[in-house]
Amino acid sequence: MIQSGPAIALEAHGRAIPPSWAIAQRYLIDVMDRAAPAFVERYTRPDGTLIWRDAWPGMDGSDDGYESFVAFPLFYILGGGEHVRRFAQSEWDAVTWQFTRYGQVYREFDAYYDWMHHGESYTYLAYLGMADPERYVDRERAIRFAGMYDGEDPEAPNWDPVHKMIRSPINGSRGPRFVMSAEDWVTHRPVLANYLAPYEDVPGHACSDPLCVLDWTDGEAFAKILSLMNERMVPGDIPLNLNATSLMTQAYLYTAEEKYKQWVLEYLAAWRERAERNGGIVPDNVGPTGQIGERMGGKWWGGYYGWRWPHGAWIILESTLIAGSNALLLTGDPSWLDLHRSQADLLWSLREERDGQTVVPFRYGDTGWFDYRPPQARHYLHLYSLTQDPADRARIEERFPDRGEWYTAPPSFGKAGHFWPERWFGYVFGENPGYPEQAIADTMACMRGRLEQIENDDWAHVDEWDVHHWQNLNPVVPEGLVQMAMGTPAAIYHGGLLQASVRYFDLERRRPGLPEHVAALVERVRPEGIRLTLVNTDALQEHEVVVQGGAFGEHGFVRARGVDREGVSPAEGAGKYLLVRLGPGAQLCADLDMRRFANDPSYALPPWEQLQGGGSEERK
């Protein structure tokens, strides 16, 4: 035990046989390190732009370009090589330039689109901030982009400070869009031809079935749909715009300026007030003067990405969860998640038993609630992971009593390698002991499959309209390893920030990520702390790893105790860092007591010089 300097410090000595998960984790990191440049070389030109079309219409697409490489900075944060960070930065620049040329991006930000797609794009920027917070150009971008939504940028007047609202569902660097054109939707029309109609009363196409489909490729039908959407959906605010709170939170993580925190809290409070005004249900459309249903004939449903169309309840749940998680990070107050909880509880109160299953409504339309399905687990798992509140755990216990199927179902990777959290949850809460091996095997299978697809990819015949091609092939898929090492279900998709139990830094190389040869596994997550195992797979050399409380230093370590190993003495302190020295081939398993959300969050790197001396720092 060491007790001097700005961190709690522990040492572990004695060579041991490394567990199979540790060897496999380091193997996967090594393979992803080598796969990243192969992927870039295969699908990009020397300047980094995607080998693709010379022109791309509509308002869609740039998000898919960014998603194709968003795993690169995330992988670097975990411990990927420096070349991966360089690729992450150069590919951001290349995609931005390419889609600026196409017309979707203006002033380095989407000219106009919705916050489902903005969220997919600018998660990349958040990871770049975690990868290198001292890179001025990324810091400047985050601040400049935030100015497009807080009223400081006159060219992008998206924010209405009087009504505390974003002025249109379609917004961006050119400001709010009040009229959508046929050109905006040109790439989506074939896709939306198979979705339910946005309204049940489209003139000449009225339907009694709320799930009726209306073919967007039919010119006459599409003209009527577009006319109604312009009449009812724009201008005004929608819950999906809550995802913009992540952009403001990024600016705060760089600057610690209070104005960004207050914007997040004021905007979330505005939606909380709207729900209260609407009898507890979040309305999915607010008109330009702040009135619920102002453009919808008084209806609180029918808005863009609302309760009816196109995806229903899960977008409402996701957006309120993203905003609430940002407010929790900024304040340490879990009550900011009450708006999300209230909507999940509302849907649960409407549950029915159908065909032996408990189902809840996913949509609301002119005929009331419809489209009943089993509730989705992932929002509940993210919620409890964030709060560690017994009441949030009780929601999971009640609503998902048969969790065994989570741990035996086939592996599931989503867009851009997104790794579903059910198996991870079962492990850290003591229900799924086989998770480390599952996560390794699933990641290996996904990577292997993508590498084989790349080898057999007949690129010359790929549909030139397929803007998703690359994100489905990127072999850098670190989310399962991030779950294992950082004690997190990973970021909430469509714009959530990566909130985690711990994060790692390499003291010798003074960079983010696990040091070479070091593997990590968060074995338990509890309200009072975590159990962490660190393994030095190098039998010849010592390695030091800095463990930070939380992804942004928001958690503080209080006590560290070795588990089932001699020679590790308990250490106490009050810092956001734990310095661990692992002798050659050594392993450390420790229970880390933590104060959650005890510190102001920041992108800042650790104080390298101070940590070099070891020891304990008093928290202010």
- DSSP assignment of 36-53: HHHHHHHHB-TTS-BS--
Spatial distance between the Cα atoms of 138 and 124, rounded to a whole number of angstroms: 11
Contact predicate 567/15, CB 8 Å: no
174-184 mean pLDDT: 97
Residue 77 has pLDDT above 60, yes or no: yes
Residue 520 has pLDDT above 80, yes or no: yes
Element (H, E) at 556: strand 556-562
The pLDDT tens digits for 475-485 are: 999 999 999 99
Nearest CA-CA partner of 539 in 583, 581, 585: 585
Indicate the pLDDT class of residue 416, thresholds 50, 70 and 90: confident
Residue 573 has pLDDT above 90, yes or no: no
28-51 mean pLDDT: 97
pLDDT at 617: 38
Count the helices and strands in the chain (H runs, E runs): 19, 17
Indicate the pLDDT class of residue 6, thresholds 50, 70 and 90: low
Residue 459 has pLDDT above 60, yes or no: yes
The percent of residues above 70 in pLDDT, for the chain, comes to 95
Indicate the pLDDT class of residue 21, thresholds 50, 70 and 90: very high
The single-letter DSSP state of residue 564 is: S
Domain limits, the chain: 8-17+501-611, 183-229
Q: Judge residue 566's burial from the number of C-beta atoms within 10 Å of its C-beta, 0-12 exposed, 13-18 middle, 19 or more buried.
A: exposed
pLDDT at 462: 57
583-610 mean pLDDT: 96
Q: pTM of whole model > 0.85?
A: yes
Using DSSP's 3-state secondary structure scheme, residue 133 falls into coil
The pLDDT tens digits for 264-280 are: 999 999 999 999 999 99
Spatial distance between the Cα atoms of 423 and 242, rounded to a whole number of angstroms: 28
pLDDT at 439: 96
Spatial distance between the Cα atoms of 66 and 467, rounded to a whole number of angstroms: 11
Got the DSSP string for 199-219?
-S--TT---SSTT-B--TTSH
pLDDT at 1: 30
Nearest CA-CA partner of 603 in 55, 91, 204, 138: 138
Indicate the pLDDT class of residue 418, thresholds 50, 70 and 90: confident
pLDDT at 410: 84
Spatial distance between the Cα atoms of 114 and 112, rounded to a whole number of angstroms: 7
Nearest CA-CA partner of 506 in 79, 177, 10: 79
The pLDDT tens digits for 119-166 are: 999 999 999 999 999 999 999 999 999 999 999 999 999 999 999 999
Indicate the pLDDT class of residue 601, thresholds 50, 70 and 90: very high
Name the average pLDDT for the chain.
94
64-81 mean pLDDT: 98
pLDDT at 567: 44
Helix 479-486 vs helix 71-78: crossing angle, to nearest 10: 30
Spatial distance between the Cα atoms of 521 and 366, rounded to a whole number of angstroms: 49
209-229 mean pLDDT: 95
Indicate the pLDDT class of residue 7, thresholds 50, 70 and 90: confident
Indicate the pLDDT class of residue 8, thresholds 50, 70 and 90: confident
Tell the CATH topology of 8-17+501-611.
Answer: Immunoglobulin-like (2.60.40)
